[in-house]
Amino acid sequence: MACFTKKMIAEIPHECAKSKAFTMKLGDLPNMVDAVFDGDQKMPGWVLMFANAKGCAHVDGLFPQAHIEWRELPPGLPADWRGMKVNLPEVVSATQTNLPLEVIPAGRTIDDSNPDQLALLLAFGVRRDGGRAAILRHNNGAVRVEIFAPREN
């Protein structure tokens, strides 16, 4: 599980006409987005979700018939952020969802998705709803962050 308080450097692609990478401290991420999703690599199907009040509202809107029990985060993390862990395929099969399931390739289902793809699905849903989201990708001990901002018309 990634921790916001670690003084890690992450490479972040910046969405613009030409993608640009820049470095930042992972602890700065809560000031840049409303929600962060981290697919659990050891427990397929599970995704860690962290969000501020606006991000919680965006995520809640993705599951209109469910009640998400957001929990306080440990001391040292942003006081206005909440978190929880969800088995996304199980929730999708049990309740109505506004997730952008149409992005899953034809012939595949959410059950075929890897942890990063599940985190990405949540981030796309928040982005489509007008929020700013990020996913954490882990590779050989390094953490890469991808940020998704809502499209401007």
Q: Does a structural domain hold residue 2?
A: no
113-133 residue pLDDT tens: 999 999 999 999 999 999 999
Q: Does a structural domain hold residue 63?
A: yes
Q: Does a structural domain hold residue 28?
A: yes
Q: What Å distances lie between residue 16 and 22, 54, 83, 99, 137, CA to CA?
A: 13, 24, 29, 24, 20
Max distance between CA atoms of the chain, in angstroms, equals 44
| Global pTM value | 0.81
Q: Does a structural domain hold residue 3?
A: no
Q: Does a structural domain hold residue 18?
A: yes
Q: Which structural domain range is residue 86 located in?
A: 10-147
Amino acid 151: pLDDT: 78
Helix and strand numbers (H, E) in the chain are 3, 8
Amino acid 20: pLDDT: 57
6-16 residue pLDDT tens: 322 233 333 33
Q: Does a structural domain hold residue 5?
A: no
Q: Does a structural domain hold residue 31?
A: yes
Q: Does a structural domain hold residue 131?
A: yes
Please state the domain count of the chain.
Answer: 1
48 or 8, greater pLDDT:
48
